[in-house]
Structure 1
Amino acid sequence: MEFSNSPATAVSTGRLRLAQGLVLLFHLTGFVGLAFSQDKAFYLKYTPLTLLLTAGLLAAFQPMRGLVFWLFVAQTFLLGMVAEVVGTNTGLLFGHYIYGATLGPQYMSAPWLIGLNWVLVTYLAGTLAAYLPASGVVRVLVGAVLMVGFDLCMEPVAGRYDFWHWTGDLVPLRNFRDWFLLALVLQVLFVRTPFLKRNPLAPMVYLVQLLFFFGLGLLAP
């Protein structure tokens, strides 16, 4: 029996191709608008929507979304928000920075969407690392490195597009240190939470977002 010819597989493949096309469309449109449009504010106002739609698509392709999976999502969101509230209000984590208006409504100077962003980056990096035929310790380390790599691509453009701003417009090295330490904690949580660590949409989402910010960084004036 050829599984690839079964109706269920065809529908699944069709859904995946549609989702991949939507992810590519969101980010390509945003990239062109932010890189070349004179009215960048028009495209920036859709940043929250793009983040929410991407999260929704990823959730749709996560198999067996049971209570344990949503518990992981809630815990990661909470840890991310706590870290950001501490960081923005005390400077004890990451350094001294403030958030701009692009990411939308805030709680104690930290946008609610930054909590979702921590969930997405943790999930994407952890899912990619889960494909490695390696121990849990190695997957935790690889996932944490992938998370820090994502931040490295975001930092050069964050201030320009009013995501966040560093005091003195200089990203401190401690930001990457603290990112790595928090990423380790979140990746341990990801590895130890018993849900299926497979998502066919995750590799493309991580790559597209990485290229999105890396490309904008290359076009910096």
Structure 2
Amino acid sequence: MPDTNAVLDKMPVAGKYRKYALPLAVFILVVFHAVGFWGLRFSGKPEYFQQLTPMNLLLTNTLLFAFHRRWNAAFILFAAVVFAVGFFSEVLGVHTGLLFGNYSYGAALGTKVWEVPLLIGLNWLMLVYTTGHISNLTRLPWVLKAILGAILMVLLDFFIEPVASRFDFWSWQGGNIPLSNFVGWFFVALLLQVYFQLAPIYKQNRIANWVYLVQLLFFIGLYSQL
């Protein structure tokens, strides 16, 4: 697949407006999450906005990967592996209680395969990719970057978990979020962060940091309202 930015450079009109792409994408990202936050907390019809969760997740990923450069075989393999590892770790978790604890998915995240929403694999990919980019902003050795990326994923999950239970994303047996969830998340995330660091893929995406930040603020906001 050709480099989108290289193609734009050869198109005078498109190149002229390319500088507005990032601000516009961030604006769209913020607006959609702000509307989602208002809908879930203040609209009086949270169930309607819960049904829009898959669309929001797909939009976020579309914006994120529209800014990715060099869609080569290495990146496609990376995306496929992270999607698969994330998805099948959840399948294992749902059916056995291993890795994360005993939980089950609700209807809010859309179509399921083996009782796990397909979008969960995409969510893992988005989180590994964005936190990997953030950790690369540091000058740490790659091993410490991988650990930092995993910590950032667990940090986000800490705020997601109570919100997920409240809005039918997933629910925990007995209603309590076990420590094993965060431990399991860390080790699966660490494995994928190591892959991110070692994979020969392009690792400069201008919107990746914004995606993580908006997601974090969104779930902190919902968490604070529970």
TM-score when normalising by structure 2: 0.92
Aligned to 1:123: 129
Question: 42, 52, 72: which one pairs with 1:66?
Answer: 72
Aligned to 1:145: 151
Aligned to 1:44: 50
- Write out aligned runs for 1:46-125 (5 A): 46-125=52-131
Q: Does 1:206 align with 2:206?
A: no
Q: Does 1:180 align with 2:177?
A: no
1:44 alignment partner AA:
Q
Alpha-carbon distance in structure 2 between the residues aligned to 1:147 and 1:40: 26
2:33 alignment partner AA:
H
Determine helix, strand or coil for the equivalent of 2:104.
strand
Summarize deviations over 1:93-130 as a string: whole Å, max 9, x none.
20000000000111111110011100011011001111
Where in structure 2 are there 5+ consecutive unaligned residues? 1-11
Determine helix, strand or coil for the equivalent of 1:159.
helix
* Percent of pairs with identical residues: 45
Determine helix, strand or coil for the equivalent of 2:166.
coil
Summarize deviations over 1:18-59 as a string: whole Å, max 9, x none.
111110111000001111011111111111011111111111
1:166 alignment partner AA:
W
Alpha-carbon distance in structure 2 between the residues aligned to 1:39 and 1:169: 23
**Higher alpha-carbon deviation: 27-36 or 59-68:** 59-68
Give the CA deviation at 1:7. Answer: 7.6
Summarize deviations over 1:164-189 as a string: whole Å, max 9, x none.
00001100001000000001100011
Aligned to 1:154: 160
1:119 alignment partner AA:
L
Aligned to 1:195: 201
Aligned to 1:133: 139
Alpha-carbon distance in structure 2 between the residues aligned to 1:83 and 1:14: 39
Change (3 A) 1:116 1:99: same
Q: Does 1:217 align with 2:223?
A: yes
Give the aligned length: 215
Give the CA deviation at 1:11. Answer: 2.4
TM-score when normalising by structure 1: 0.94
Give the CA deviation at 1:131. Answer: 1.4
